[in-house]
Every structure is written in structure tokens, then in C-alpha cells.
Amino acid sequence: MAYAGVDINATYGSTAGGSVFVPEMWAKAVKGYFELPTTFLSLADTSLSGLVKKQGDTIHIPKMTIKAATATTPQDITALTAAISYVAPDDGETKLTINKLAYSATIFSDVAKIQASPELFSMYTEGFGYAIRQDVENYVGDLIAQGTVGNMVEVSTAGTDNEFELADLKLLISTMYSNGANPRDGWVCVVSPELAGYMMTVTNFTSADFTRNVASTAPSSATEAAFGTLAGMPLYVSDRFRAAADADTQTGCVFQPKNLKLAYQVEPTVVSQYSVDFLGTKVAAYVAYGATIVDEGQVFIITNA
């Protein structure tokens, strides 16, 4: 059994420092499991994290609006008969606040034994990494899955609950193009497990035009974690979308990952302290983060009719 990003030949139980907790070893392993592909966590844009590392807790993100070019001629510009018009930078902004912290903690009676055993070490670090990863995944996913439908572009499926038919795909694509969105221009689609299951019963969705080869091993990137493709868009499945029961229930979405911002003030980190009260080593893995949708108007939300 191997664990992500750690040299499995490095054991510490038999060394002179075997009783000493090795934080670098634990942190690297936990981060390796934390970074395994999910859906929303893996797709979200984390490029702004550097703005809040170790200082600050709010990022002001310009909410860029579509600009219109001014038509003129080279002759007018060079003849100094036309002055360039400047547009005031009044696009507004979206705030991303670091307001979430997720942790997983355990007390170990013999941490040296765990560090000396690749099998035990892998089990515990995987548990830490999965726990905090799932907290971030759920929070980021719910920004869309439990967002306000009225702030997004709604596309309602027709027919029976939890069915995504070719007519629904036609409506989704036509709605996107009507709103200036080319499906192949960096957009991704995420649907509920129920919609994904129904797609598997429709020949058009299971043909070579809509599916991709499934990796024989665990996916190593967000691209490999894709369920398939839909009109050129990578298709993902998330349990943050639930089975439709009432009107306006969100069952899926289409968005550009750059529109979903996720920032870490503290990346997956492991800390420890020996406890005399419990005669064991207290170990905690945690992450501090924040996330937001820059422009909800650029999210196409699939709902139950």
C-alpha cells in the first residue's frame, strides 16, 4: 500500500528519533490525499490564494463587465482629430472572505509505531486528508447547488423528474448560445447522480460522441475525474445536487471554473502536541479557506420543471 507523495521507504520507528513526531512526513501525506481529484474543489480556481497567505482575510475581486470597442480609423488617431475615450473602472466587485476552517483530530498512544508502518500511516493520513477535503468540496459545491436560482440563468428540464433527455440538451445549448456562451469555451457541466444515471439509458449520451475512456486507475487530475463529455463540455457528477422533487430544485449546472474562486489562507497542515492527560500524541490536520462565485449571472443552473 502506498500513500500519496511520501517515500514509503522512510520509516522512523527504528531510528534514534523514533518517538518524535515528524510533521513534514504527515503534512506531505495528508496534502497528497487532500489533492486527489474531486469535483468542485478540483475545478475551482485557486490562483488568488497568494493574496491571503499568512495575512489578510478578504480578497476584492473585480466583477468584470463586457466592454464595447470604440470604432475609429488610424487616420483620425494619427491626425489628432479624435481623442481616445476611457471607460471608468466601475465594474463593481465580489468579495471572497476567508471564513471557513476544517479540521480532523485524533490522539495516538504510539505515534512512532504508526510512523514506522506504511500501512497504518497510510490509513490515518488518508482519513485526515479525506475529512478536510470533503468539507471544502461540500462547501464549494453548495455555493452553486444551493444558490439562488433567480440570480443564475435557469434551464428547466422537461418530463419526468430526474431525466435529462435530448430535448433538455437542446434547450441547454440554445440557452447558452443565446447568452453568448460557447460550450467549448472552457465551460463544464456538473449533474446529479440521478441525471447521470438516466443519461446512461439514452444511446446518444453513451455513444463515442459523448463519452470518454474511463481511466483504469484512480484519476490523477480533474480532467480524468470527468464522467464523460456533453456537447464538448467535460461532464462531472456531484452528490451536492439532489434528486428533483419540487419545482426549481437544482439538479445540475454549467459554469466556467474561473468563475468559481477558492482561496486557501492555510493549505492542508498538520500540527501535534504530546498530552500528559491522555498519555498520547494529539494530531490535527486542518485547512483555512474561503470561496465565492464571482458572477452568478454566468452560471447556467439546471432545475426540475
Q: Are 256 and 234 in contact (CB under 8 A)?
A: no
The predicted model scores a pTM of 0.80
The CATH number of the domain covering residues in 23-58+94-142+261-293: 3.30.2400.20
**pLDDT score of 241:** 92
| Identical fold, 23-58+94-142+261-293 and 151-260+296-304 | no
Phi then psi for residue 216, to 5 deg, are -80, -15
Q: What HEC string does 126-162 produce?
A: HHHHHHHHHHHHHHHHHHHHCCCHHHCEEEEECCCCC
Domain residue spans in the chain?
23-58+94-142+261-293, 151-260+296-304
**pLDDT score of 238:** 93
**pLDDT score of 293:** 93
**Residue 198 CA, distance from chain mean position:** 24
The CATH number corresponding to 151-260+296-304 among 3.40.1620, 3.40.1000, 3.30.2320, 1.25.40 equals 3.30.2320
Per-residue pLDDT of the chain (305 residues; tens, 9 = 90+): 344 444 434 444 333 344 577 778 889 999 998 988 889 999 999 998 888 776 777 877 776 666 667 777 776 767 666 667 777 666 677 877 888 999 999 898 888 888 888 888 899 899 999 999 999 999 999 999 998 988 999 999 876 678 888 889 999 999 999 999 999 899 999 999 999 888 888 877 767 555 554 433 444 555 556 777 888 888 999 999 988 777 778 999 999 999 999 999 988 989 888 888 878 888 999 999 999 999 999 999 999 87
**pLDDT score of 215:** 38
- The length of the chain is 305
Q: Are 108 and 274 in contact (CB under 8 A)?
A: no
Torsion angle, alpha carbons of 106, 112, 113, 116, to 10: 120
Phi then psi for residue 176, to 5 deg, are -65, -50
